[in-house]
Structure formats: structure tokens, C-alpha cells
Structure 1
Amino acid sequence: MSLTGALYNAFSGLKANSRAAALVSTNISNATTESYGRRELALSAGVAGTHGGVTIKGVIRHSDPVLTADRRLSDANMGAAGDMYTFARRMEDLVGESGTSGSLTDRVTSLENALINAASNPAATQRLENIATTANDLAKSLNKLSDEVQLARQGADATIARHVTSLNEAVVRLDEINDDVVKANSTGGDVSTLLDERQRLIDGISEIVPLRVVARERGEIALFTQGGAVLLDGRPVEVGFEQTPSIGAGMSLSGGQLNGLTLAGLPVNSTESGMFAGGRLGAQFELRDVATVERQAQLDGIARDLIDRLGPGGPDSTLGALDPGLFTDAGIAFDPLNENGIAGRIEINALVAPGSGQSWKLRDGLGAATQGEVGDASLLVAISAALEAQALPGSAALDAVPSSFINQVANFGSDVVGTRVRAENEQTFAISQNTGLKEIELSKGVDTDFELQMLMQIEQLYTANAKVMSTVDQLLERLMSI
């Protein structure tokens, strides 16, 4: 081999060593960075007919597509489970633990105790006022729960809009990266950084909706949801959604008052069986259109049961058939055909509201024109008995089983707790699965011990190439001196 050939070989080796050392440094510094793919220098022997040496063919970015796909699906499941648990936990906190102060069952118990206390001394105005206060507190508790359910629906609707915006922005950026990857590949450039950015974007989208990534020619990718919706294939496809300014009880997607998703301007199925089900976007639709609707229906059923028990035909014989009872629909008589949202409208009758000065009507009847016998507790006892009676609820949202009012409320509270427990278990499983997949993914990523060993080898190769160049330099100097 000539001195020129040896010099060329050593120079190409030094160049490769320098590039390899830079890649090792990058690998180590990003060992715990999510979406980062380990880099490795691709080398080949010099072309035949030349002096030899090594040629840098490019940079290899290592990844496991199957494992990454499983982890992304797990991301979607974990996001959805987290959203469902958050709502279930919020409802449990609002309903309160049975028997604790301020809980829904405590409000019912306080009313029953106030009735019993007043029946023992019906002439005591203070005890009658306590009935009005506890009844008003119970109605307000139902109002608050109903309001919170509708706020949760409104929040879910707004979150859907944010997810759709993030989804569209990420898909547009992925389309731009597709173009950049094609250009870089055509010029022999390093696309590793672009691929890292692409994976980061896809990871972000995968929490919103489960994805399927398909490789295309020249390094491009196509993006589909697990349900089959095309998000990117040659060009981005826009997902559309129009947020509803105000959501009330009774408004629904099927009824046309709420909006669903569109894909390229065409409506698509936005339910749990649709093309966007499975991630946080699907969970928000589940919350807005299913979970909250069921909770509202149960609350409305409880409110209706309370109104029915103490309305016309109940213990107060002074009420006419069309008169509002102790509990009203925003001040008027309740219409069974207008059950939707009654939990948010239920109020104590203004005739006996706290501070009205007419609490004696609780003892003598809402329709009484004048006070009766102050020692007569028969109506108070009858009201208490009506609440304790094993009655069949009029609402289809409650179980068609005869039950007392306190048991209806307790059953509702138990259902809320049970839903929270199931949601928590699902979230725990999703987190455990996701954590395990991420650990496997990281274990197949950058191994810092291995990278340090590589760095030591690079140092040895660098020293050897440098020694060759130094030797060639000495030989050239000797030849020049002859």
C-alpha cells in the first residue's frame, strides 16, 4: 500500500470515528428521552479500485415498530381510563360518603329527623322552620349535583374541541415532516431528528385516539385510527367539530342538539363504536353522551320521586290535583312529561320556604287558609311516613322495585361508589400495562453501559488511525530529506 493510500485510509477512519463519537454522545444524553431512537453509524468498505478506507453510508435509527404500536395503544387506553376515573371520582366527592355531614344521604336523614322532632312538638315554630331549612338544603343539593353533571358535559364538549384542534395541528405537521423526510432521503441527509419529531407527534396523537401507522415509499407514513378513519395518506384529512355554547339536560347527540365529529366535512359515528373510539377523544364523547346522561337521569328520578311522594294525592289533603306540593318544579306543579332536568329545577314550595313566615303550613297543610290546632302532628307524621313508604318509583331511570326514599338515595350513592371503584381498577390496570410497555421500550433503547463501551472502542480506533497518520508524516519527512 502506498503512503498516500495509508494516509487516505487513516483519514477516513478518523472522520468515521469523529462522527461515531458524536452519535454515542447524543445517545447517552438522550437515554431517557421519550420518542428518541438510538443512532448507529452505518459504514462500508471503500469502493473497489480505490485506496480502501471506510465510507459513511448514513445513520441508522433503531426502533421496534410492533412494541411502539402496542405502547401507543396502551397510551390511548390509559388516557381514556384516566378521564373516566376523574369524572367518577368527582361524582363520588359531590354525592358524599353515606352518613357524612353534607352528603346527599345526610340531607335526607336531616329532613327525616326534623320531621320527627317537629312531630313531637308541632306548636314549636323553630322546629317547623327546621323542616323548611332541611328540605331546602336537600333541594339545593340536588340542584348542585345536577349543575355539576351539566358542567361536566360542557367541559367534555370543550375538551373534545381542544383534542380535535390538537389532532389536526399534529397531522398537518406530520405531513410537513413527510415532505422533509422525502427531501432528506433524496439528498442522502440524516433524517433521524425528523423521525424523532415524527414519533413524538404520533405519540401525542395516540393519547387522543388509537392509531395505526403504515409505512409508504421514500420514508413517508400514512396515519389511520384503529377504527379505520384516514388522518393522513398523501395529504392530511381534517377532523371537524363544532363546540356547543351551552348544554342543558335533555340535549343529546341523537336528538341533534349536540354535535359529533366530521371527517373531510362528512359526519362520522362519534359513539363508542365509531372510528374515533378508544382514546381520550372517545372518552370525552362517552362522558358527554352516556355517563353524564345516565347520572342526570338518576338524579331526575330521585327528584321526581321526592316530588311525587309529597305532592297531590300524598299526605297533604289540602292540595288540589294541580297544586304544587312541598317540592315544586321551579315554583310550579311538576309535569311528569317534563322529567328531564328536574333535579336542577326542584325547589321547596315558596309558601313554606325558610323565612316565609308560614312554616305553620307544614303542620296544617299547604292549602290551609288559617292555622289549625297547634298540637296536631298528623300531617308531619304522614309526611315522614310517605318518605319511608316502600313505593314504586315513577321514573324509568330508577329500579322498578318498591323502596323508601332514603333507600333510593342510598342506592344512587352506592352506584356512584361502584362506578368509581370500577373506573379506578381500569385506570390502575391501564397504568400498569403502559408502564410495563414503556420499560420494555426503554430497555430496547439506549443502553448507557454499551454506549460507553462503544466510546472506548472509538477512542482506541481513533488512536490507531492517528498513529498511522503520524507514522506516514514521519516517512514523508524522511523521503523529502533524501
Structure 2
Amino acid sequence: MTLSSSMANALSGLTAASRAVDVVSSNVANAMTDGYARRELSLSARQSGGVIIDGVSRAVDDRVTSDRREAEAGLSNAGLLADAWLGIEEAIGYPTENGSLADRIDQLDTALISAASRPDETVRLDQAVSAAVSVADQINSVASDVQTLRQQADTEIATMVGQLNGYLDQVEDLNRQIARAATSDRDASALLDQRQAIVDSISEIVPVRQASRVNGQVALYTYGGVGLVDGQAATVAFQRSAQITPFDSYEAGDLSGISVNGFQLSIGGSYNQISGGKLSAAFEIRDQIAPGAQSTIDALARDLIERFQDGTLDTSLTAGDAGLFTDLGAAFDPTHETNVASRLRVNAAVNPEAGGDSWRLRDGLGATSAGPVGDSSLLSALEMRLTERGVVRSGPSAGLPRSVADLVSDFLSEAEAKYQISDGEKAFQSAKVDTLTTKELENGVDTDDEMQKLLLIEQAYAANARVVQTIDTLIQQILEI
């Protein structure tokens, strides 16, 4: 081996050692940086001797990363659904809580019993009317909370679609930068880290599969096969609704779906092209969970009105007259059940605050004058009607014998059961994310290992430097001859 070839070999070793120090330094400095993939220097031997730097690679297990993204999407999906069901639970309230729907039904029952025990006391009649108003107000409040939940879901969809379009544009831009780096033989590791973090964010909204393309570029597709990025970024479109009413539905075309490059996607059915992430959960809340809860509270309000608009219960009523509870002052019409929970009111005839008289609760809602103050028969009948199990005409409990309290319990039980399912799925996906994140971190930066590498690099650098020094000495000696 000639001196010149030995010098070239040593210099290539020094260059490789210098580059290796940069890689180790970057690894150590970013050991705690989220999304950073450990760098590894790739070297190969030259045919004539020495080493060639082939480039810097990232230590990434694509399969584990894909599984972790899927688990994070499932966690986001289950978390949003669990929050929705918990919100419905809290709107209904728990039986032991003051002011809950069950508590107000119980207070109405107690107030009617109290009034029946002393029908001559106006204060007790007033308290019974006030308790009935509280029941109506609470049902109105539950219906309002359900519609708020639905409106919020629609707003969240619009926000997520805006974020998604921004992320897709960033992936397209990073793809171009990575391709340019690949063709100009520049290190694109930092760009790859950025793209991985953005794809992670996309997957939380809509789970995606990643496919490799030339020069380090990637294409992104939903699990339903919809292309989001392949060369160019797709345009995702959604029209936010300024105000959603209980009469609006996606199926009827009142509410916006979602489209990609003008193509309307299938959502919410057995074939859901965006299933699995936060976006899918928000559509489920808007189009299934909230409307279902609205239907249930409407069925409860209907049952409450129909229980008391009965001429056999209150003989002062005639056909078509409203009873104790009304649909905005009128008797219930089965063809107008939608949103009746928001229209539920106590009959103004018995409500002193609406110009009525509470003695009609004792003497009949259609009575024109007060009757015997000691007659408690109607009050007792009203209390019995509240607690008796009648056949429910609509909603999830249709066809079953239920009291008003039973219907509230059924509603709360359904919300609690669905919450427990979603919360259980959330816990499962959280554990899965933790496991896969730990697996990913096994390919992460081990600072102890990096310091050991640094010692070896230092030794290699010193050895190559010694060779250069020795060759320099020999050349000087030759020149002195």
C-alpha cells in the first residue's frame, strides 16, 4: 500500500468519524424530543480501501408505528364517544343528585301526596304546581343539552376538517422537500421526523394507511380506501350548520356530509370510509347518539303529557283538552312528537305564575270555580297516575309497562351502559397505545449506548489521526533525503 493510498484511507476514516460524532450528538441532544427517530450512520468499504459514507438512516419500525397510530385513532374515537355519553348522563342527572330529573319526578310525587293530605292548604297546592313546573323545566333542559351536544359535534367536524386540510398540505410540501433532498444526496432525516409527526396528527382525526413512493415520498389513504395524499393533497370539504334543530338530519339532506375532491363519502353506515378516528366519532354523535337521545326524551315528554290528558282521570276535561302537562298549552298530537320535550309546559290553568289557580289541581283543570276544599280524590288520582305503569307508546321502551320514574331510569341506564362500553374501549386503546409506544421507544435513543459509540468513534478518530501523523513524518523524512 502506497503512502498516498494510506493517507486517503485515513482521511476517509477521519471524515466518517467526524460525521459519526454529528449523528451521536444529534441523538443525544434529541433523546427526549417527541417524534425524533434515532439516526444511524451507514458506511461501506471502498474497493481501494477506506470507507464511504452511504448516508444517515432513521431507526423506525413502520409496522409498529402504523399499529400505534391505529390505536391512537381508536383512543380518540372512544374518548369522544365516552364524553358524549357522559354529557347525556350528566344532563339527566343521577337519582341521588338534587335537581336531577329523577329527583324532580320524586319531588312531584311527594308534593302531590302532601297536597292530597291537606287539599285545603293553598301553599301545598302551589308547591305541587311548582314541582310539576320543575319537572317540565328539567325535561326542557335535557332536550336543550342534547341539541347543544349535537351542535358542538357539527362545529368540531368543521374544525377537524380545517385541520385535516392543513396537515395534508404540509405532507405534500414535505414530500417535495424530501424528494429534492434525496435527489441532491442531502440528509432528509429532520424532514422525515416532521412528516411522521404530521401523519400522526392526521391519523388521530382519520386513521390512514401509508404507502411508499419514489424518493422517500409517501401516499396516504383512509382505511376505507379514500386517497388523501398521493402526489397532490386532496381537498376535504364540509359545510358547518349555523343552527341544528331536532328536525334536521343528514339522511334528509339537512346536514352536511363530507367530501374529498368533490366526491361525497359514505359515513355512518356499515361502510364508513372515515371510520375509526375523532372525525367519525363526531359524525356519530351528531347523526346517531344525539338524535337517539332526543327521541328518548321526546318519548318521555309524550308519556308525561298523555298520562294526564285523560277525561276519566279529570272529569272536568273534555275531548281535546290538555291535562296537567301540555305541548305548549295544547293537548298532545302524536304526529308532532319530534321536539315535544322542548315544548313541554305545565297547564297555565293551574299555574299561578301564568295567571292560573292552583286550586284547579284539586278541583279539576277545567273547573270554573273552586269546589269542596277537603276533596283530595283528584290529587290522589294524579299521584297514582304519575307512578302507575302504563304502556309506553314510543321510544326505546315502546310497548313496555313503565312509570315516569321507570322511563327516566331506562334513559339513564342506556346512557350509562353506552358510556361504560365507550370508556372500556378507551381504556383498552389507551393500554394498547402505551404498549406500542414502549415498543417504538425500544428503537429510540439510548444515551448510554450513544456514549459508548462516542468512545469507539474517538478511538477510531485517534487511530486515523495517528496514521496521518505517521505518514506526514515519513513524507518529511523522504523530503529531507
How much does 1:481 deviate? 4.5
Matched with 1:327 is 325
148-157 or 97-106, which deviates more = 97-106
Percent identical: 41
Give the partner amino acid of 1:470.
Q
Q: Distance in 2 between matches of 1:329 and 1:287?
A: 27
Q: Among residues 179, 184, 189, which one is paired with 2:186 in the alignment?
A: 189
How much does 1:301 deviate? 0.6
Residues 124-143 of structure 1 aligned to structure 2 (within 5 Å) = 124-143=121-140
Q: Distance in 1 between matches of 2:266 and 2:260?
A: 10
Give the partner amino acid of 2:367.
A
How much does 1:12 deviate? 2.0
Q: Distance in 2 between matches of 1:95 and 1:455?
A: 63
SS of match in other structure, 1:109: helix
Matched with 2:378 is 379
Matched with 1:29 is 29
Which segments of 5 or more consecutive residues in structure 1 lack a partner in the other structure? none
Residues 271-420 of structure 1 aligned to structure 2 (within 5 Å) = 271-272=268-269, 273-313=271-311, 315-355=313-353, 356=355, 358-420=357-419
Q: Distance in 2 between matches of 1:289 and 1:394?
A: 23
Residues paired across the two proteins, number = 479
Q: Distance in 1 between matches of 2:475 and 2:352?
A: 109
Matched with 2:463 is 464
Judging changes above 3 Å, is the alpha-carbon distance between structure 1 residues 229 and 314 closer, same or farther for their aligned structure 2 residues? farther
SS of match in other structure, 2:225: coil
How much does 1:468 deviate? 2.2
SS of match in other structure, 1:56: strand
Matched with 1:16 is 16
- Contact 2:210/2:219 (CA < 8 Å) preserved in 1? yes
Q: TM-score, normalised by structure 2?
A: 0.96
SS of match in other structure, 1:321: coil
Q: Distance in 1 between matches of 2:416 and 2:54?
A: 61
Residues 103-252 of structure 1 aligned to structure 2 (within 5 Å) = 103-252=100-249
Which segments of 5 or more consecutive residues in structure 2 lack a partner in the other structure? none
Give the partner amino acid of 2:208.
L
1:58 aligns with 2:55: yes
Deviations 1:137-164 (A, max 9, x none): 1111111111111111111111111111
SS of match in other structure, 2:124: helix
How much does 1:183 deviate? 1.2
Matched with 1:432 is 431
Matched with 1:262 is 259
1:84 aligns with 2:81: yes
RMSD (Å) for aligned C-alpha atoms:
1.7
Give the partner amino acid of 1:436.
T
Q: Distance in 2 between matches of 1:325 and 1:337?
A: 18
How much does 1:47 deviate? 4.8
Matched with 1:421 is 420
Deviations 1:214-263 (A, max 9, x none): 11222221110001111112222211110111011121100111111112
- Contact 1:98/1:413 (CA < 8 Å) preserved in 2? no
Q: TM-score, normalised by structure 1?
A: 0.95
- Contact 1:133/1:354 (CA < 8 Å) preserved in 2? no
- Contact 2:59/2:443 (CA < 8 Å) preserved in 1? no
Give the partner amino acid of 1:271.
G
How much does 1:166 deviate? 1.2
How much does 1:212 deviate? 0.8
Q: Distance in 2 between matches of 1:414 and 1:478?
A: 95
417-426 or 23-32, which deviates more = 23-32
Give the partner amino acid of 1:197.
Q
Q: Distance in 2 between matches of 1:360 and 1:469?
A: 111
Q: Distance in 2 between matches of 1:29 and 1:13?
A: 24
How much does 1:445 deviate? 2.4
